[in-house]
Amino acid sequence: MAMGATTPEPQSSSQAIDGEAFKHVADTLVTEAGITPMLHRMFVAPIMEGNTIKGVITESKAGREAILAGRVVDATGDADVAYRAGARTRKTPLEEMIAVSVMFSMSGVNKKRFIEHVKANPATYHDWNYGEWSVETSGKEDEMFSPFLKKPFDQARASGLIPDGLSTIGGTWGAIYDEGDLTYLNLVHLPGLDGTKPEDLTRGEMEGRRQALMAVEALKQFNPGCEEAKLRNFGMTLGVRDTRKIDAHYNMTAQDVREQGRFDDSIGIFPEFLDGYGILILPTTGRYFQLPYRTLLPQGVNNLIVAGRITGGDKDSHTATRNMMCCAVTGQGAGVAAAVSVLHKKPLETLNIGLLQKELKRQAARID
């Protein structure tokens, strides 16, 4: 907010990140923290000594490089490092994996007309039951406003603009600006694709862009306020929600994320916020669970810790731990653990949890 990189979020008193401006915010945070940024390098292989990871091999336009490291943090979203280092990982079966999305934004929207139409046709989270999808809520969500768009796509199907069989176009909008930008259009969902397979990524990205353009045309024709609008941009990458997760020293369970799990080795907390596999529970009650340090530690590989959506857990727990702010919690936990481990010359596997928690608290992280 201080850097002008947010805008009001339509369904709460929160601020939404401006994804473009946030790139500069992130650059600034990295620079201020004294991190050596190394963009434009792809991790391709681990450097192993037995079961211990000692660094990574990267490829870039400059060729192949070896980067040795005191500790390695895998935050690839796909557990690329853990998987290649030989750690046990698992994937949800392809037919159950959460769909991938091509996100996009539009410009030239008449905000006044758009918002008037939203107010005249308020959608709720109950409306997420559509096409082949159904959603289980805790009940309270059914009455809550959702920035949800479905009707224009039903009309587009009826008019022949969108093929009859294509029932997956529909979803949420994120923010609308006075200047006419309508952002984070999360409307295109492609099931049955595995984000660790380049051929699936290729197919998803191209098919997703094709469907996004159909959605743009449907909004122009059938959603008041969008008549003069146009595509502003596609997301920088295909949006992948669900691939490998590590088999950790502790794997989170549905019970943990639904019933306020508590752990002695907590590295942070996250509210009861579940979204995925047909479950939707929003964080409105104050209920929360703790995240144990052990969920960041892969089995079978030493010196490696993970953060983000790849932490250990079952299918239902992924609906909570994949959420962005939970990824921020495990990111801070993993980064601080790696630093404390180096500082005190203790392996990650036998780290003194008290020292880790003390440093997290010093950084104002809430762990209980």
Ligand X SMILES: Cc1cc2nc3c(=O)[nH]c(=O)nc-3n(C[C@H](O)[C@H](O)[C@H](O)COP(=O)(O)OP(=O)(O)OC[C@H]3O[C@@H](n4cnc5c(N)ncnc54)[C@H](O)[C@@H]3O)c2cc1C
DSSP states of 282-314 as a string? -S-S--EEEEEGGGGPBSS-BSEEE-STTSSB-
Q: Which long-range contacts (CB under 8 A, 24 or more apart) does 356-363 make?
A: 356/267, 356/293, 357/266, 357/267, 360/267, 360/268, 360/332, 360/333, 360/336, 363/332, 363/336
Nearer to ligand X, 184 or 293 (CB): 184
User: Does 80 participate in binding ligand X (rule CB under 6 A)?
Assistant: yes
d(CA 50, CA 73): 18
- Asked whether position 322 contacts ligand X by CB under 6 A, the answer is yes
Residue 38 binds to ligand X (criterion: CB under 6 A)? no
Footprint on residues 239-258 left by ligand X (CB under 6 A): 239-241
Contact status: 309 vs ligand X (CB under 6 A)? yes
Distances (CA, A) of 270 to 64, 261, 279, 327: 39, 10, 17, 10
DSSP, res 164? T
The C-alpha angle with vertex 324 and arms to 319 and 330, in degrees rounded to 5, equals: 90
Of 70-78, 112-120, 146-154, 336-344, the window that binds ligand X (rule: CB under 6 A) is 70-78
Q: Does 171 bind ligand X (CB under 6 A)?
A: no
Nearer to ligand X, 147 or 224 (CB): 147
Give the one residue of 324, 342, 358, 366 binding ligand X; rule: CB under 6 A.
324
Query: Site map for ligand X, 213-242, x if CB under 6 A?
Result: --------------------------xxx-
Considering only 7, 76, 243, 266, the residue that binds ligand X (CB under 6 A) is 76
Asked if 77 is part of the footprint of ligand X (rule: CB under 6 A), the reply reads yes
Minimum separation from the CB atom of position 333 to ligand X (A): 13
In the bound state with ligand X, the residue whose beta carbon lies nearer, of 31 and 352, is: 31
CA nearest neighbour of 43 among 87, 89, 74, 88: 74
Continuous segment of H or E residues that includes residue 181: none
Q: Which of 92, 186, 251, 317 binds ligand X (CB under 6 A)?
A: 186
Q: Which is nearer to ligand X, 19 or 224 (CB)?
A: 19
Per CB under 6 A, contacts with ligand X among 128-147 are none
Provide the minimum distance between the beta carbon of 115 and ligand X in the complex, in angstroms, as a whole number: 20
Distance separating alpha carbons of residues 236 and 68, to the nearest angstrom: 29
Closest CB to ligand X among residues 218, 238: 238
**Residue closest to ligand X when measured from CB atoms:** 308
Long-range contact set of residues 194-200: C-beta below 8 Å, sequence gap at least 24? 194/91, 194/94, 194/97, 194/243, 195/78, 195/100, 195/238, 195/240, 195/242, 195/243, 196/78, 196/91, 196/243, 196/244
Q: What is the token pair recorded at 190?
A: 């492609």
From candidates 17, 97, 103, 218, binder to ligand X by CB under 6 A: 103
Nearer to ligand X, 222 or 273 (CB): 273
* CB of 235 vs ligand X, minimal distance in Å: 7
Residue closer to ligand X (CB basis): 214 or 240: 240
Q: Which of 7, 211, 317, 323 binds ligand X (CB under 6 A)?
A: 323
**Between 187 and 254, CB nearer to ligand X:** 187
CA nearest to 360, candidates 265, 295, 262: 265
Amino acid identity, position 226: C
- Of the candidate spans 86-94, 287-295, 321-329, 357-365, the one that interacts with ligand X by CB under 6 A turns out to be 321-329
Q: How many helices (H) and strands (E) does the chain have?
A: 9, 21
Look up tokens 């289980």; give the residue.
136
Q: How far is the CB of 261 from ligand X (least distance, A)?
A: 19
Edge-to-edge strand order for the sheet containing 52-60? Answer: 42-49, 52-60, 63-68
How many whole angstroms separate alpha carbon 105 and alpha carbon 19? 11
Which residues contact ligand X (rule: CB under 6 A)? 42-43, 75-78, 80, 101, 103, 186, 239-241, 308-309, 322-324, 327
